[in-house]
Amino acid sequence: MHLVIISGRSGSGKSTALHQLEDEGFYCIDNLPAALLPALVDEASRPGFEHFRGAAVCIDARNAWRNLEDFNAIVDALPDSVRSEILFLDAQDSVLIKRFSETRRKHPLSGEQMPLAEAIERERELLEPIASAAALVLDTSQLTIYELRDAVRQRLIGESSGSMSVLIQSFGFKRGVPTDADLVFDVRMLPNPHWVKELRLQNGLDTEVRDFLEAQPMTGELFDSICEYLDRWLPQYRDSNRSYMTVAIGCTGGQHRSVYLAARLYRHYKEQYPQVHIRHRELQ
């Protein structure tokens, strides 16, 4: 049985992720008490459940605090026949506050004695046992609903046991390093096409920008160095049962150099890792 546990702070996109899995054929339950996970697994073993792709449940701060404290013990006690994955969604505090202000929804922990900002911080503490056990953590601060649904589909759907999903992501340092990045490579030492008038409004996927960067000897050397590192260490992550890896490639604005190198790395590794994906954060 494939069991996906979705958690995260309120406003981070848990409902969107759960709806995506429901569309993909999972039996989905929102706000399941963690103590009922064994009962769900037992029920899923009965006839009639086999036409579902698996089960997906949302467990968050609405749970009783004792269930959250015992979460890891509950999951560890599930039968060996259950292949469980934990997806933890989060976002920057300022983004969560803005989302609640826009939707006018009430935070589940907020009230007269606890303002919104304090409730958001308290929620982080309550969910720490789940966050620390999560195989995949996604920062949704800069994701649209459609990008989040795509991310869930790419990273969780169709995974086979023992495989590792690799996301290669370009980004711009001026907007911050992606918080879900596992490995970060800074490529700002390369000549910047932004300062070439004819290339400024193009990006690293355009032929003219690729030609400009490939004409620089340093570009090939940097690409080879990054590949040498990844060739050495990605198999080690995979062999240690790591399910997800995000390799982030950053330049100043995330338009030219990082986009070019991320795309080149994607082409290089897509044969070695069937579950390799690419995302250009600043081109979305």
Query: What is the domain partition of the chain in residue ranges?
Result: 2-156, 165-283
CATH superfamily, domain at 2-156: P-loop containing nucleotide triphosphate hydrolases (3.40.50.300)
Would you say residue 17 has pLDDT above 80?
A: yes
Count of beta carbons in the 10 Å neighbourhood of residue 9? 26
pLDDT at 177: 93
Work out the pLDDT band at 241, boundaries 50, 70, 90: low
Count of beta carbons in the 10 Å neighbourhood of residue 235? 13
Burial 112-146 (b: 16+ CB within 10 A, else e): eeeebeebbeebeebbebbbebbbbbbbbbbbeee
pLDDT at 158: 53
How many Å apart are CA 68 and CA 45, to the nearest integer? 25
**Six-digit token string for 178:** 């992606």
**In the sheet where 183-186 sits, what is the strand order?**
183-186, 244-251, 165-172, 276-280
DSSP string, 92-159: -HHHHHHHHHHH-PPPTT-BTTB-HHHHHHHHHHHTHHHHHH-SEEEE-TT--HHHHHHHHHHHHTTP
pLDDT at 112: 73
Work out the pLDDT band at 139, boundaries 50, 70, 90: very high
pLDDT at 246: 93
